[in-house]
């Protein structure tokens, strides 16, 4: 049974942990559940859309979605297995971790523990041997999840700004400014600046930075381009300028970030 088909079943037992390891599921549309979700995409890139933000989930990272949060998950072509654990929530108030969406680098311990549950499926209930093992996973998450990936790209279906966002992505390597984009779309600089703040709650320049760094992470995982080539591909005139912004947004140098993979 696919994860999409399993969604109604996940919430039927509130005290259980629901286990699902799914192959080849590439797109899971808007949904929510009353359990907290821990998921790891094996083999590649994934995208998580929550409300008005899109998160890039690089290889060797996992994500947590709190109970009741509506989201969309899209898995890139290189992703092979979606490993998900849906946890009971009666103890979620024990730590702030459980109430926040987050993307984190996986460590060997958590990866092996998640893989250990590969042969299990469905509800694991209190009193079962597997339940104790799974509860340990949930309990250690706040301790091991201390390096959250801070990249989240604002998103909007607003009909005025969506063509502008599409244009920026399509021409990401070009030089852009409020003046040039305003001219392209027949909007004054002031109106364009206000549109970004009102629909995305961020400035034009900050959005452009986030877009470029998000795209650079995709290129690191999906291509064999050198770091210099990636810098130019996403619109930076030099590797040093690209590295400075990358460090500012991720707390890591691009070369160090790529080494992790």
Mean pLDDT to the nearest integer, 50-55: 88
pLDDT: is 208 or 80 the higher one?
208
> For the chain, which domains are there?
3-144 (2.60.120.280), 153-259 (1.10.10.60)
pLDDT digits (tens, 9 = 90+) for 196-241: 999 999 999 999 999 999 999 989 888 899 999 999 999 999 999 9
∠ CA 228-229-233 to the nearest 5 degrees?
Answer: 120
Residue 160: is its pLDDT beyond 80?
yes
At residue 222, the pLDDT reads: 82
Is the pLDDT at 1 greater than 80? The verdict is: no
Q: What confidence tier does 79 reach under pLDDT thresholds 50, 70, 90?
A: low
Phi–psi pair at 98, nearest 5 degrees:
-70, -10
Q: State the number of CA atoms in the 13 A half-sphere of 233 facing the CB.
A: 16
- Which pTM value belongs to this model? 0.85
Residues 231-260, mean pLDDT to the nearest whole number? 92
Mean pLDDT of 32-56: 90
Rounded to an integer, what distance in angstroms lies between the CA atom of residue 97 and that of residue 254? Answer: 27
Residue range 107-144, pLDDT digits in tens: 999 999 999 999 999 999 999 999 999 999 999 999 99
Per-residue pLDDT at 185: 96
């Amino acid at each position: 049974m696919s994860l999409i088909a399993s969604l109604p079943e996940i919430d039927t037992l509130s005290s259980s942990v629901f286990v699902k390891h799914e192959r080849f599921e590439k797109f899971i549309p808007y949904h929510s559940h009353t359990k907290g979700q821990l998921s790891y995409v094996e083999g590649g890139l994934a995208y998580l859309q929550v409300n008005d933000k899109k998160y890039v989930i690089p290889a060797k990272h996992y994500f947590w979605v709190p109970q009741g949060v509506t989201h969309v998950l899209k898995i890139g072509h290189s992703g092979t297995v979606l490993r998900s654990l849906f946890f009971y929530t009666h103890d979620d108030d024990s730590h702030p971790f459980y109430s926040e969406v987050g993307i984190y680098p996986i460590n060997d311990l958590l990866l092996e523990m998640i893989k250990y549950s590969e042969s299990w499926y469905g509800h694991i209930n209190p009193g079962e041997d597997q339940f104790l093992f799974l509860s340990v996973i949930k309990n250690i998450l706040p301790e091991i999840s201390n390096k959250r990936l801070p990249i989240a790209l604002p998103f909007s279906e607003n009909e005025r700004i969506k063509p502008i966002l599409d244009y920026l992505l399509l021409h990401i390597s070009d030089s852009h400014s409020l003046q040039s984009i305003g001219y392209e779309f027949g909007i004054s600089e002031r109106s364009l600046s206000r549109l970004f703040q009102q629909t995305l709650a961020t400035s034009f320049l900050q959005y452009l930075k986030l877009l470029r760094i998000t795209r650079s992470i995709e290129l690191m995982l999906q291509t064999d381009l050198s770091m210099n080539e990636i810098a130019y591909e996403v619109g930076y005139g030099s590797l040093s300028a690209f590295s400075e912004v990358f460090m500012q947004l991720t707390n890591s140098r691009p070369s160090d970030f790529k080494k992790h993979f």
